[in-house]
A and B are shown apart, each in its own frame.
Chain A
């Protein structure tokens, strides 16, 4: 079993002028390659902070974060940008597509920053859009797509660089139940293809798609639960 993510004593403290808020208190966590993990917890439990640190959008106050063999906890902003580009794929609750920009161009965006040539970029973006079943919609702009379709474009954008980990923050939070099922079916498929997925949700039936559920409470891991379908035990 290959370890992809190792967190050791990850602590995050937010300091404002007067108050100090501890969002994460010494988190230890291992995620293996190919795992499908759901993070659950009430609001204020630290799951969003966790997601930001996993996604290299934020750095921990203390602790060690090893992603795919690289120590990233104390990396520079430039290195973090590079890691986000090459090793991570983000999916957000609010889709976060560029407005007035076609689905194809949205999916191409990470490849632009990766320095991929135009022609190859186009081919890979079309490939990724096919993988989420949107090959008919590549010229559509976000405002011309349904919520479910927009989220699938976002998934294609996360996939297109071939990242080590796909991070999804409440990906079905803005979707109706049918679209949610569509989107989760794609996650299911991606998992079967061997992708590593970490998903934050507060809906138990969404979390149920995962093979392992980590419950957060007050900045700590309350429970680390492996679902019956799982083939191998977490570390």
Chain B
């Protein structure tokens, strides 16, 4: 008797118990599907974040107020300090390798217009913002350096904010006065919606940094300074320039540490990739556990099936089936169940990923490796969890099996 016969017998047995076979497979279907969907979401998220960061411009550097060390009583204490100011930003503009500088402050406020209102991020910045962050306007204009210098209460809003407070993308927002903490700001422009569709990008209000400091944050502190290098090749020299300009501005002696930090795209990208990889592994791990549970389900059903089919095994043995024939029959049955389950699971995972893409707003990426992994794993599960019941079936005593009711 060859393997083809064994497969035929196994398929017949699966077909003869359609409902039970399906329920058995369900565990594997969900397991494989979950692995694929989870890994696809993880991959999609990391790809999306990478694109977002690259979309900011490849020659962008960001300066943050640094953490620096107080050494009192021999105990190291980490502290943040408000070390960046608008003067620093002005100083950086002197750099040869620096093209544009946009200092920023950020706060989260409720924005009102008539009866409409929304919670949103408010960024205080300068006229260079558009250039530095690679942004475009949909309607209107951005505020000028003069308006920044004059503490003008003007605002450029994201498309998400327009939809929230106007009910739709309505150009009529231009010229309206929105209220932030009861202070009116006149809307002069609307940002173009972001292609990536990330909600938070479109849900912003930009105002002159001077007005933001005066009316909202109430301090001279600058939370970050975005610096655009002349070109991607100038990143290193621009970075060195920032260090020397800021050290000079902050009057730091030779022995003192920098009281600021510079991060570039690559660093952020690496950190984000690291984070999303960890998340992907976590999600995949949780999904793998459900695959394992599915495998145990197969073993459970196969064990029940062996008991239930004791008489069948007796009959087969009486007409000449060897122990190896019975072993193969049950093993192949378990493997077929898990492989078919794996196959359906792939389709399910694929469909699920497509569906997830719609809700997430970024595409979930199904990778070949996750599919191969899931299928290999499910076939392995079939073998591992099939051996025990198959072995049990094969060594049944034929006389007792025939008597079994």
- Enumerate chain A interface residues (CB-CB to B < 8 A): 52, 55, 57-58, 77-78, 81-82, 84-86, 90, 92, 96-101, 109-110, 112-115, 157, 161
B373 close to A (CB within 8 Å): no
- Report if B273 contacts A (CB, 8 A): no
Q: Which residue of A is nearest B405, CB measured? A: A94
| Contact between chains at A78 and B322 (CB < 8 Å) | yes
List residues of chain B with CB within 8 A of the CB of A57.
317-318, 398-399, 402
B residues less than 8 Å from A100 (CB atoms): 16
A109 B399 Cβ-Cβ under 8 A: no
Determine whether B241 belongs to the interface, using a CB cutoff of 8 Å to chain A. Answer: no
Contact A90 B1 (CB under 8 A): no
Given A58-B399, A98-B312, A98-B315, are A113 and B322 neighbors across the interface (CB < 8 Å)?
yes
Which residues of B come within 8 Å of A, CB atoms? 1-2, 5, 9, 12, 16, 311-312, 314-325, 398-399, 402
Chain B min CB distance to A165 (Å): 14
Q: Chain A residues near B311: list those with CB within 8 A.
A: 96
Contacts of A98 in B (CB 8 A): 312, 315
Cβ contact within 8 Å between B319 and A84 = yes
Contact B320 A92 (CB under 8 A): no
B320 A85 Cβ-Cβ under 8 A: yes
Complex Cα–Cα for A96 and B323 (A): 19
A113 touches B321 (CB 8 A): yes
User: Provided the pairs A96-B315, A112-B5, A115-B2 are in contact, do residues A81 and B402 lie with their beta carbons within 8 angstroms?
Assistant: no
A155 → chain B closest CB, angstroms: 13
Task: List, in ascending order, chain A residues with CB within 8 A of B325's CB.
Answer: 113
Is B1 a contact of A113 with CB atoms below 8 Å? yes
Per CB-CB distance, the 4 closest pairs between chain A and chain B, nearest first, are A85-B320, A110-B319, A113-B320, A81-B322
The answer to whether B323 and A78 touch across the interface, beta carbons within 8 angstroms, is: yes
Given contacts A57-B318, A96-B314, A100-B16, contact A81 B323 (CB under 8 A): yes
Given contacts A90-B318, A113-B1, A113-B320, 15 further A-B contacts (CB under 8 A): A57-B318, A57-B399, A81-B317, A81-B320, A81-B321, A81-B323, A84-B319, A85-B320, A90-B319, A96-B402, A113-B316, A113-B321, A113-B322, A114-B320, A115-B1
**B327 to A: closest C-beta gap in Å:** 12
Closest chain B CB from A85 CB (angstroms): 2
B355 to chain A, nearest CB (A): 38
Closest chain-A Cβ to B2's Cβ sits at a distance in Å of 7
From residue B303, how far is it (CB to closest CB) to chain A in Å?
20
**Cα A81 to Cα B323 with chains together (Å):** 8
| Distance in Å: Cβ of B185 to nearest Cβ of chain A | 77
How far does the alpha carbon of A52 sit from the alpha carbon of B397 in the complex, in Å? 12
Partner pick for A157 among B314, B319, B321, B402, CB 8 A cutoff: B319
Which of B312, B319, B398 meets A113, CB within 8 Å?
B319
* B293 to A: closest C-beta gap in Å: 30
Q: How many angstroms between the C-alpha atoms of A97 and B316 in the bound complex?
A: 10
27 residue pairs bridging A and B, Cβ less than 8 Å apart: A52-B399, A55-B318, A57-B318, A57-B398, A57-B399, A57-B402, A78-B323, A78-B324, A81-B320, A81-B322, A82-B320, A84-B318, A85-B319, A86-B320, A90-B319, A92-B402, A97-B315, A98-B312, A101-B12, A101-B16, A109-B319, A110-B319, A112-B9, A113-B322, A114-B320, A115-B2, A157-B319
